[in-house]
Amino acid sequence: MTVTLVPAPVVGSDPASAGSLDVLGVPGEINLDYAATAPCARVAADAVTALLPWYASVHRGAGALSRRCTLAYERARQTVGDFFGARADDHVIFTRNTTDALNLLGRALPAGTTVVTFAGEHHANLLPWPRGSVRLPVPADAAEAVRALDAALGELRRAANPGLPVLVAVTGASNVTGELWPVADLARVAHRHRARIALDAAQLAPHVPVDLLALDVDYVAVSGHKLYAPFGAGVLIGRADWLDAAPPYLAGGGATARVGAATHDVTWTAGPARHEGGTPNLLGAVALAAVCDALAAADRDALHDREQRLLARLRDGLGALPHVVELRTFGPEAPRVGIVSFVVAGRDSADVAAELAARSIGVRDGLFCAHPLARRLLGEAAARSGRRDLPPTALRASIGLGSTEEHVDRLVAALAARR
């Protein structure tokens, strides 16, 4: 079956959101699940379509097609690195997604590294880390996160061999609440304690500019499919030394400099190729680079303002429904991106999501691959609201470039009718 993607109408009349940054969609289908996977930006689809006739091997062929594809792949690496403010000596490694990027970093940690995270992280930033990692409790606010990290790193440096590496791994924006984490402050604290810091920017990058240098983080991990670039490429960007010293993430062709006749006679290459064994995902890289180019040229402040107005409308609408309770970690006014999780009192979240789907409104339900945080916030929501009939899982609505006031209003109206 051939599915024709129908371009969504250009979003609103806001020039900053029009033109090169419109997204594809299906008329009548309201997608409020951007945090899971964002729709495809037209520029990503166009870039892939333009390259498809040339589609051939990357770094493997001498023909014109292959050379063009190799060039496109390496240009994409440059574009993506520049977009995220990579330092000249950072590696920009294409991966499948953020999970893959953080697992790669996890495999590249020098022996004896302690990883410090907060319990509010997505599973992708909780599970790849070695035994002995430290998981700090979910803080009450951003300032407490900074204080807690400072105390924990001070303690770690006193207790452990001070020469051993420490990596702090934090999210930029929560996939459950959309709340922003104080990344630059956490980076300052980490570096004061001679620790490195990795930023999980899966939810941050689609909403605000992320710049390694400006934030002074050592690594950043991103998913293309959440950044309007389908075709499945993510990226890990960061310091070269650990990555070049680590065994290859994927052993095989492309990762080697020389392979001898003896079983283990292998010299692995250095640089990004060391961890990109096998034929790379050219189209994913090109799609991601196309979106990075378009976002770099866009008025990000205007996009952000527009999203914040929609988010306020969504939260106000939900807040006015007496049977809806929002989940949050920090205070209600804490800065956040366009993600809201909530429950409908007395209603199973999966049932509500299915009813919304029947009205062509797509949201997410469950614990959002952040089980420790989601369970905790559900408990807090019950205590805060005084309600004993909250369900054990939640709903999540998330917005972005193609979202409109009508989408938000339709969700709120549908929930108002679902008591």
Ligand X SMILES: Cc1ncc(COP(=O)(O)O)c(C=O)c1O
Give contact residues for ligand X (rule: CB under 6 A). Answer: 97-99, 122, 124-125, 171, 175, 200, 202-203, 223, 225, 369
Least distance (Å) from ligand X to the CB of residue 209? 17
Nearer to ligand X by Cβ, of 178 and 402: the residue is 178
Nearer to ligand X by Cβ, of 70 and 125: the residue is 125
Least distance (Å) from ligand X to the CB of residue 125? 6
Angle at Cα 289 formed by Cα 287 and Cα 293, nearest 5°? 120
- Closest-CB residue for ligand X? 175
Least distance (Å) from ligand X to the CB of residue 94? 13
Nearer to ligand X by Cβ, of 79 and 171: the residue is 171
CB burial of residue 163 (10 Å; 0-12, 13-18, 19+):
exposed
Nearer to ligand X by Cβ, of 70 and 281: the residue is 281
How far is 82 from 69, CA to CA, in rounded Å? 20
With residues binned 3-state (H G I as helix, E B as strand, rest as coil), the percentages for the chain, rounded to 5, are 40, 15, 40
Amino acid letter at 414? Answer: A
Between β-strands 114-118 and 166-171, what pairing exists: parallel, antiparallel or unpaired? parallel
Nearer to ligand X by Cβ, of 79 and 97: the residue is 97
> Among residues 207, 256, 216, which one has the least CA distance to residue 239?
216
Residues 6+ apart with CB under 8 A from 291: 41, 43, 44, 224, 227, 228, 229
- Burial string for 258-284 (b: 16+ CB within 10 Å, else e) reads eeeeeeeeeebbeebbbbbbeebbbbb
Least distance (Å) from ligand X to the CB of residue 122? 4
Least distance (Å) from ligand X to the CB of residue 84? 15
Angle at Cα 210 formed by Cα 171 and Cα 207, nearest 5°? 80
Nearer to ligand X by Cβ, of 69 and 397: the residue is 397
3-state secondary structure of 301: helix
**Rounded-to-10 torsion of CA 27, 303, 211, 218:** -50
Helix (H), strand (E), coil (C) string for 346-400: CCCHHHHHHHHHHCCEECEEECCCCHHHHHHHHHHHHHHHCCCCCCCCEEEEECC
Q: What positions carry a catalytic annotation? A: 369
Nearer to ligand X by Cβ, of 175 and 403: the residue is 175
| C-alpha separations of 308 from 53, 208, 313, 403 in Å | 40, 11, 9, 11
Least distance (Å) from ligand X to the CB of residue 305? 23
| Tokens matching residue 238 | 């960061």
Least distance (Å) from ligand X to the CB of residue 95? 9
> Among residues 175, 161, 159, 164, which one has the least CA distance to residue 115?
164
